[in-house]
Amino acid sequence: MSVFERFLSLWVFLCIIAGIVLASLFPGMFQLLASFEYASVNLVVAVLIWAMVYPMMVAVDFGALVRVGERPRGLIITLVVNWLIKPFTMAALGVLFFGHVFAGLIDPADAGQYIAGLILLGAAPCTAMVFVWSQLTRGDPNYTLVQVSLNDVIMVFAFAPIVALLLGVTDLVVPWETLVLSVVLYVVLPLVAGAVTRARLLRQGGDAAVAAFTARIKPASVLGLLLTVVLLFGFQGNVILENPFLIVLLATPILIQSYGIFAIAYAWAWKWKVPHDVAAPCALIGTSNFFELAVAVAIGLFGLNSGAALVTVVGVLVEVPVMLSLVWFANRTRGSFPA
């Protein structure tokens, strides 16, 4: 790894500070960038995430996709953790902290909103950024694509019933525009572009040409990650500055959930002797969240200024630093897994 990649966590921390400072100095610019939105998906952030995901898609070998079924353990771990464990543990943590531990520190009227926001985060596994985390841990791009695709299919049918069950909301309206647009922007389009690029490179120089191309564009992928961090923290800089203590309270169960879910999936993969290039992505998928969907549903159900919407925004702010710490841990423990 280059010096830049080795100290990626430091650059992310500096981008967090830069986003907050720039938002306070140039609020109008960030308001303008935030206005480029459709179906609760910010199009500027979407372009940056697309730039991050595209190099991973170039590495996808469609001929190898059919062999993914020969290694079902990673898929089993991903699906069980994402749909049978994560939503319910997040709901339990919400009740524990905002119903009991933090009860004396918050307005009791807001407790239900905060719990609802946590439930929405827990029921929406990540779609886009997983490709970035997989790339940083040298994950199998073919396997990661299948894992994400399965999650997306299940999400279409399971998200609304799980959220309705945990929230007790019977008239939940899923923002289908947000869900479909996000999948198209973050999975379908970069996958098609990556497939076209890969086919052209293979004709020109075979696998060596593919490897050389992905190495050349990797810095652009990391730059996209850093600019995304600047924008996300810039968009929400005022929230952090106005409610720093509340942000800490809201982040606490999210942090516990993130590290706890990763530990369950990663330890399970280690116990099952799943190769590291499958184990790391399958643990990271369950740890991160589909924040566009969670934010959109929170706003639709409870309003833009609700406690539930605030929780989903805090989830966005917490995610990148947490995921980078888990990427670091996964890379350091690679030797504990079979090759």
Pairing of strands 41-42, 37-38: antiparallel
Strand (E) positions, the chain?
A: 37-38, 41-42
Phi and psi at 176, nearest 5°, equal -60, -30
Is the model's pLDDT at 174 over the cut of 70? no
Q: Helix, strand, or coil here: 41?
A: strand
Cβ neighbours of residue 186 closer than 8 Å, sequence gap 6 or more: 46, 49, 50, 53, 127, 128
In whole numbers, what is the pLDDT of the chain averaged over residues?
A: 84
Q: Could you tell me the domains of the chain?
A: 3-334 (1.20.1530.20)
Q: Among 4-13, 25-34, 228-237, whose mean pLDDT is lowest?
A: 4-13
Give the global pTM.
0.81
Q: Helix, strand, or coil here: 37?
A: strand
Produce one character per residue of 144-166: b if its CB has 16 or more CB atoms within 10 Å, e if not. Answer: bbbbbeebbeebeeebbebbebb
- Using alpha carbons, list the distances in angstroms from residue 198 to 57, 60, 207, 279, 298: 9, 8, 9, 25, 39
Task: Give the chain's largest Cα–Cα span.
Answer: 66
Residue-wise pLDDT tens digits, 14-70 = 888 998 899 899 999 998 998 888 877 788 888 887 887 787 778 777 776 677 677
